[in-house]
Amino acid sequence: MRETCVNMVYELAKLDPRVVFIGSDLSPGLLNKMKEEFPDRFYMEGVYEANIIGLAAGLAMEGFIPYVNTIATFITRRCYEQIAVDLCMHNLPVRLIGNGGGVVYAPLGPTHLATEDISIMRALPNMTVVSVSDAEEMKRLMRATLDWPQPIYIRLAKGGDEIISDESKGFSIGKIIPMHKTSSDVNVLLITTGIMTQCALKIAKKLEESSVGVTVLHCHTIKPLDTESILQFSKKADLVITLEENSLIGGLGSAITDCLTENLGRDIPLIKRFGLPDRFPDKYGSQAQLLDYFGLNTENLLREIEKIIQENFTIHSNSLVING
């Protein structure tokens, strides 16, 4: 996904003379072809992320579309004020590409783990926040960024993830994609983002083996949220589950909960959010090992969801009936 994303910047640069790439102390040789072909639109700066946000803002004010790329924690936490003041206040079309969202950089510890990047970027006015499911969907996102008028935060996974997206389902910034629809009335609605969508599809398959109808919504754009579609599907659901590789505070689950409580009132379905806990990770290892540690794997999530269903519902005629 990461390689696909930066390579798409080069492809976009060939199509549009406004496209500029700005990196911060990244791998030698990155986008060499773009550097050779468009040297006046390629910048590889040192370790001063706050300054490159200012550089990107200045270029955007001159009519360029800057794509700024570095590690997710550095491009969010380290220069948050510059993003707010230089980009968001002026509503500039700068694209922030964050390498290693979530717990991708597990071997490097908590300083490099972007466990709250969705939350803090979502809080900024005018900021669009996107987390796609795989490399093919990344291509569709990058093409859509050219004409998007506002700043965008693009959260990257590590790459090599299974391809689950389908071009025939379309792609628009700000629109959810139903990845799996139950043939019966929706009983369980799984809403997810990023690579957790892969996990959600596996969970849906297992639940339907137990006669539980499941619909999976891939919410690649956390902000602006596709409120209309979320409400359309949620009104039919008995249970809404959110899955994300981000803090439970302020992320996708919070966005969905805000949406449902503000719009459905007493008709709100039961909601359960799964994500990272409100603490700095205290383990090292691989991304998969940390997700296992926090219970964000298919096996544990399936057990937890089945437990919620057993405690709150009775399965009757291929539908869920709430207890009591």
- Which residues of the chain register pLDDT less than 70? 185-186, 316-319, 324
Answer yes or no: are the C-beta atoms of 90 and 61 closer than 8 Å: yes
Distance of alpha carbon 316 from alpha carbon 170, whole angstroms: 35
Q: Which residues pair with 215 in a beta bridge?
A: 189
3-class DSSP state of 217: strand
Give all strands (DSSP E) within the chain, no chain letters: 19-24, 42-45, 65-71, 95-99, 128-131, 152-155, 177-180, 188-192, 214-218, 221-223, 239-247, 270-276, 313-316, 319-322
Beta-ladder partners of 168: none
- pLDDT tens figures, 292-301: 999 999 999 9
* CA 303/CA 190 separation, integer angstroms: 15
pLDDT the model gives residue 324? 57
Measured CA to CA, the distance from residue 220 to residue 226 in angstroms comes to 10
Q: What is the mean pLDDT of the chain?
A: 94
| DSSP output for 134-147 | SHHHHHHHHHHHTT
Q: What pLDDT, on a 0 to 100 scale, did the predictor assign at position 319?
A: 65
Render the burial of 298-320: b for 16+ CB within 10 Å, e for the rest: beebbeebeeebeeebeeeeebb
Q: What is the pLDDT of residue 185?
A: 66
The secondary structure of residue 116, as a DSSP letter, is S
Model pTM score: 0.95
pLDDT recorded at residue 161: 84
